Amino acid sequence: MVQQLKFALQVALLFGLRVLSPGASFGAEKPSWQADWEATIQAAKKEAQIFIYAAIGPYHPRVFAEFQVAYPEIKVTLVHGNSNRISPRMFAERRAGKYLADVYLGGPTSLYTFYKNQLFDPLAPLLVLPEILDTSLWWESKHFYIDAERKYIFVNEGSVSGFAIGYNTQAAKAADFKSYWDIFHPKWKGRIVSLDARDPGFGASELRYLYYHPELGAEFIRRLFGEMDVQLSREHQQALDWLGIGKFALCAFCRDGFVTKAKAQGVPVDYVVPNDLKEMPRLRGSASAITLVSKAPNPNAAKVFINWFLSRRGQIIYQESHGDRDSMRVDIPKDKIPAPQRRVAGKKYFFVEGPEYMDVKPALKIVEDALAGKLRNQ
């Protein structure tokens, strides 16, 4: 009997026939992920909609439009604006028992606040596509999460950044700065406008970068707000206008994207490039992390969007729509990303969006104390 089985197998191999187990069919079986993915897409089409809250600026409509083209059966409703507007809305809806949002995209600081208030469900189990799960296609061969459990807040961007310092090109020059500590030169005292770092959506990530950076720390923050007579502004455009007309020589927390846009319009401004300074630059995830909102009304549509957004195609669109943002994916073109924001292989960066660096309260207290001390001394 054994000899007969061996002979049958040899004949089958000789003629290229498949040897099937009992109950198997001649059709090729789909991988488990593919069956899951196709079922999810069909369920998402039945939901027919998705509500995306995005606290990440005006450039993202193209991302959502491209998703709409890829999945025309899923209608996208987008709610977006600065986090200091979107976050209160989200909390108000929850208090009223309204569960409208499916996916929330935003900066790590605001998302971490939601996470601490248990407003998210785990995102990691929703990742299905092999091209996402393959960590070799991501920076440092891993997925970056903000939360300690590494499953709630996925960071898809890692652009090079630091502490943003804009300057009026008629009052200062790049050579004035070899280190962030050069901002304390006496000639800059009283000549600095600063975005109010206490205002959500402005400087929280950069404030954490300063506070936790081993070469900067609490002393840097205390001196900036306590000794340099900075003028605070809660309007980015106002601070940039003041910088452009020369009312102030420097702008602290003035984001490079805003400065670059003004420079292109002929305003005499520029910004200090973090890679040119001696302190270790940071990897910025300050504009894009993605989450699954708890009690999402359209969970399948959310799953489809999350996988599409983190796919190669989704991240190419993300990079192209921003222009100056470097996706954490390493298998997509980087040549159009400006050199100051582009990661360099082998260079050391400070990833301040890690869970051990997310608490901004100690840094905010230093700002408050420094400003209060300044008022007492006036």
Q: pLDDT tens for residues 262-271?
A: 999 999 999 9
Is beta strand 282-284 parallel, antiparallel or unpaired with respect to 159-161?
A: antiparallel
Among the listed residues 200, 205, 211, 193, the one whose alpha carbon sits nearest the alpha carbon of residue 254:
193
Domains and CATH numbers, the chain: 32-159+285-347 (3.40.190.10), 163-280+360-376 (3.40.190.10)
Mean pLDDT by 10 residues, the chain (378 residues): 43 35 49 94 98 74 92 94 81 93 89 91 98 97 94 94 94 96 98 88 81 96 96 92 97 88 94 92 81 97 98 94 89 91 88 88 94 69
Tokens of 54: 């995005």
Which pLDDT belongs to residue 202? 62
Which pLDDT belongs to residue 20? 34
Which pLDDT belongs to residue 132? 98
Alpha-carbon span 153 to 115, nearest angstrom: 8
Phi and psi at residue 128, to the nearest 5°: -115, -45
Per DSSP, helices labelled H in the chain are 2-14, 32-47, 61-70, 83-95, 108-116, 130-133, 204-212, 218-227, 236-244, 256-264, 299-310, 312-322, 361-376
Is beta strand 154-155 parallel, antiparallel or unpaired with respect to 289-293?
A: antiparallel
Alpha-carbon span 10 to 4, nearest angstrom: 10
Provide the phi-psi class of 215: left if phi over 0, else alpha when psi is between -120 and 50, else beta.
Answer: alpha
- DSSP conformation letters of 83-116: HHHHHHHHHHHHHTT----SEEEE-HHHHHHHHH
Which pLDDT belongs to residue 189? 97
Phi and psi at residue 262, to the nearest 5°: -65, -40
Instruction: Count CA within 13 A, CB hemisphere, residue 222.
Output: 8
Residues 6+ apart with CB under 8 A from 320: 62, 336
For residue 3, give Cα distances in angstroms to 7, 19, 180, 264: 6, 17, 80, 82
Which pLDDT belongs to residue 201? 60
Alpha-carbon span 79 to 64, nearest angstrom: 11
How high is the mean pLDDT of the chain? 87
Instruction: Count CA within 13 A, CB hemisphere, residue 259.
Output: 20
Which pLDDT belongs to residue 152? 97
Among the listed residues 162, 140, 166, 177, the one whose alpha carbon sits nearest the alpha carbon of residue 281:
162
Tokens of 169: 């090109």
Alpha-carbon span 252 to 233, nearest angstrom: 10
Which pLDDT belongs to residue 95? 92
